[in-house]
Chain A
């Protein structure tokens, strides 16, 4: 057995334990040191991921291939940025406790296990490790009513989703006789074995995952949790776990259930349609910018799922490219949100950004770039994500999806433009506090990516292509 296949996960787990130990032993506040250690652990893990061998190990529980490498790198980028964004915010809000980075490390570990799972059981363990950590960080500001409420809501609905997923897995196990992805795929390649029981189980698995990616109609928790959780936590939620869950979606439906594409395609088409439309319309009336971003993320999940709905190589490729771009531009936008602070107090209304272009031009310009990119205006990166998924939809003849998709992207352009309008056209509502260096760094890095992606898109596209090839075989 080749135990090095899971080397990145093992190293990250050990790092997490070590940081926890240090944090407990330390007498003074070890928040900053632990956060830095966590970022270091993520970078180290990323290096190990890039050098990881390929293959299946641990009795078929874990797989390391181009797909898991692609997703793991994205997750680690998202996680490192999430910790970076929390550095200043948590200190100012008085929630700078060392458990925070530790929990994020374990959440990240859960995500890494999820995307390299090759078995419904290891998938579930990864997902639960992620979810349990996230329930806690959502309620991390425990003196704040909204944060506590967010944690509780997330826990109840998340537990329900996990239950559905587990129930679906048990049905699949019962009817297919195995939980291993490769064996499920082998079993289902015989149409006679694709019994209604397996299909029902698969649909339950889809529902469970749809909860995690907050696709309509399983999105209800998203706006409340996004609004209630501390902003860096929201940033983390909207980035890495979303990528992980979407990647899992692709892995599960493209791999073991690949032969049932005709069955799951209809489900994904509906979920995707509803998400795009709801994400476009529900965000229009939002005054709280975190709530607005919650609906925006629902919409983006809808667009990403267009790629999955296409049920083709091009579609999965589009999905991965979309998620990579979404991750980076979303982190940038949240870096702006985390920096929104006036006279020491965090503010989160859209109108609090008023006149930002006059008081802090570079932050306003970065935010405008992220907003235009999310609206899908070329030459920014967001456009290319949309282009690849819609191309896949058209190749597969999903015209309804493509037309509704582009139209809802026009509707959603309205609320992205509104933010630009507030920043550039409105009179200033008083200067925001100077932004911390940590979020300025995240902002600039993701801003440069978003702006310059068009110059050299080929490497990302090629990596996504390799990743997809590895799961479709």
Chain B
């Protein structure tokens, strides 16, 4: 049995489905059903969040192995079991997912007025898939959750999205699917070779270097699209712009992390040699992503598109950190993933606040908002600063660690990453200036109301966490330390063994 004394991870994974099933049984007048669906979804996600806090308190930070492990027969004869567990790399992402879901539901409280019941069901199913994916310790189980995300997300973008939603949802779905099916083939090959799809057992299974290259490319096809890395990122701006606010929040907050998580969980430990071989290639793509998408972001006229491009740039920092193969780099990458999960989500929520009031994403439509919505302007400023990695806020420690790690690899790479930070400050401040400052050009903006109590409630936990991560990064870094160190040690040992074998 695990540390919680009961199957905590399965409960976290499948409890949202119970809530979804309950919402589907609601009957009656449309208005009443909508109201009940909102409350049921909120309570379900809050209970899941409360349960997930057990992970925060009971997780043994000194243990590099998997904890809260559960194992059930599934297709045991074929080497597949239902195997769940968390280590330092995955545990905080589960908390991120369970935290963002209630926030999303609260953020959609008034914004979604049509087909509320289906919307809430889609979000709860999405939560199941996200949490399950981070918990899975079997490759097939992982793949099921990883791909399962597509269904609710496709519907969220397509049904509740904006004008070009059909194009965006198809692009999102097919692009991601295309990458993932190639990964599926690689998984099937690993399954064939090792006779099992159990992730910890696959870590022990050595793969010849020539084969590693192919498997790495197949994994790369899936994860690079998900991250997304330049030049596979073109689905992301479309998906973000067309998705409803909460859809963008989940997309930026959690779904983008799945690609980087995949690199960390699978590519690095299972394919050490290929990872090293491909590292320069990844550096190049990451630097291009950081610099190029930052420049693209500078030129955007649409708020969501701008933040979407900034996400690509931040994820470039993450992939850069992962492929430095150092404790600093990996910790920095993980920290950046978490902070980006909070900050980008919050920025999309900020955009959503304006969109709910004015129904426009055009930057030019706004101006002088700070005078009309002072509280909102402060919150927006706060997250803008966090996004440009102001010391003391969440963005800073992760990016600093990655840049330090990159410096050890090659100062020029660090220079590229740092350039990205400068450009990041430029486009974010430029955005903020155009939206919040200046003359109030549009008279109808004067009638806008400042943040409502519900919106304050949505932002409060994000503000607190962003501060906490900036001021006391160690309380988060301590979660990864053991696992990341073990990963790096194992990686070096595998490389050393390969080198010996080659001699």
Residues of A near any B CB (own CB < 8 A)? 357-358, 361, 372, 377-379, 383, 387, 390-391, 394-395, 402-403, 406-407, 409-410, 413-414, 417, 420-421, 424-425, 454, 457-458, 461-462, 465
Contacts and interface: CB of A to CB of B under 8 A. Distances in A.
Interface in B294-350: none
Interface string B125-151: 000000000000000100111011011
Contact of A379 (B73, B148, B182): B148
A391 B191 contact: yes
Contacts of A461: 75, 77-78
B192 interface: yes
B144 A390 contact: no
A409 B181 contact: yes
19 contacts: A361-B118, A378-B148, A383-B144, A390-B184, A391-B191, A391-B192, A394-B185, A406-B182, A409-B181, A410-B178, A414-B174, A417-B174, A420-B154, A420-B155, A421-B158, A421-B169, A421-B170, A458-B77, A461-B75
Contacts of B174: 410, 413-414, 417
Interface in B90-111: none
Given A395-B192, A425-B166, 20 more contacts: A357-B118, A372-B151, A383-B147, A387-B140, A387-B184, A387-B188, A390-B185, A394-B185, A394-B189, A394-B192, A403-B182, A413-B173, A417-B170, A421-B166, A421-B169, A421-B170, A424-B159, A458-B73, A458-B77, A461-B75
Given A378-B148, A395-B192, A413-B173, A425 B181 contact: no
Contacts of A372: 151
A454 B140 CA distance: 11
Nearest to A403: B185
Nearest to B176: A410
B74 interface: yes
Interface residues of B, number: 36
Contacts of B226: none
Q: Which secondary structure characterizes the binding site on chain B?
A: helix
B206 to A, nearest CB: 19
A463 to B, nearest CB: 13
Max chain A CB contacts within 10 Å: which of B143, B188, B191? B188
B38 interface: no
Given A390-B184, A425-B165, A461-B78, A378 B147 contact: yes
A424 B155 contact: yes
Given A394-B188, A402-B185, A461-B78, A414 B170 contact: yes
Contact of A406 (B76, B143, B166, B184): B184
B451 interface: no
Contacts of A358: 115
Contacts of B169: 421, 425
A248 to B, nearest CB: 26
Interface string B157-186: 011000001100110011001100110110
A377 B189 contact: no
A372 B143 CA distance: 15
Contact of A378 (B115, B143, B185, B192): B143
A457 B185 contact: no
B181 A410 contact: yes
B357 to A, nearest CB: 26
Contacts of B178: 407, 410
B147 A377 contact: yes
A378 B159 contact: no
Contact of B158 (A406, A407, A414, A425): A425
A424 B158 contact: yes
A420 B174 CA distance: 14
**Chain A at the B interface: mostly helix, strand, loop or mixed?**
helix
Nearest to B132: A379
Contacts of A409: 181
A111 B235 CA distance: 48
Most chain B CB inside 10 Å of its own CB: which residue of A357, A424, A461: A424
A372 B149 CA distance: 12
A454 B144 contact: yes
Contacts of B173: 413, 417
A402 B183 CA distance: 12
Contacts of A394: 185, 188-189, 192
B193 to A, nearest CB: 10
Contacts of A379: 144-145, 148
Nearest to A414: B174
Contact of B74 (A403, A410, A414, A457): A457
B150 A425 contact: no
Contact of B177 (A387, A402, A413): A413
B177 A410 contact: yes
A425 B159 contact: yes
A377 B188 contact: no
A410 B155 CA distance: 18
Contacts of A454: 144
Contacts of A410: 174, 177-178, 181
Nearest to B146: A378
Contacts of A425: 158-159, 165-166, 169
Contacts of B75: 457-458, 461
B222 to A, nearest CB: 11
B369 to A, nearest CB: 32
Contact of A458 (B74, B144, B154): B74
A469 B76 CA distance: 19
Contacts of B166: 421, 425
Given A377-B151, A425-B166, A406 B140 contact: no
A462 B78 CA distance: 11
Interface in B270-305: none
Contacts of B159: 357, 424-425
Nearest to A361: B118
Contacts of A383: 144, 147
Contacts of B188: 387, 390-391, 394, 402
Contacts of A357: 115, 118, 159
Contacts of A420: 154-155, 158
A390 B181 CA distance: 11
A148 to B, nearest CB: 39
A377 B150 contact: yes
A394 B187 CA distance: 10
A378 B77 CA distance: 20
A355 B247 CA distance: 22
A420 B173 CA distance: 12
Nearest to B190: A394
B74 A417 contact: no
Instruction: Name the 8 nearest CB pairs between A and B, nearest first.
Output: A406-B181, A378-B144, A391-B188, A425-B158, A394-B188, A378-B147, A379-B144, A410-B178
A377 B155 contact: no
Interface string B5-24: 00000000000000000000
A414 B171 CA distance: 10
Contacts of A361: 118
A428 to B, nearest CB: 12
A393 B384 CA distance: 51
A455 B145 CA distance: 13
A391 B184 CA distance: 9
A130 B173 CA distance: 41
Contacts of B182: 403, 406
A465 B77 CA distance: 11
B154 A417 contact: yes
Given A391-B191, A394-B188, A377 B78 contact: no
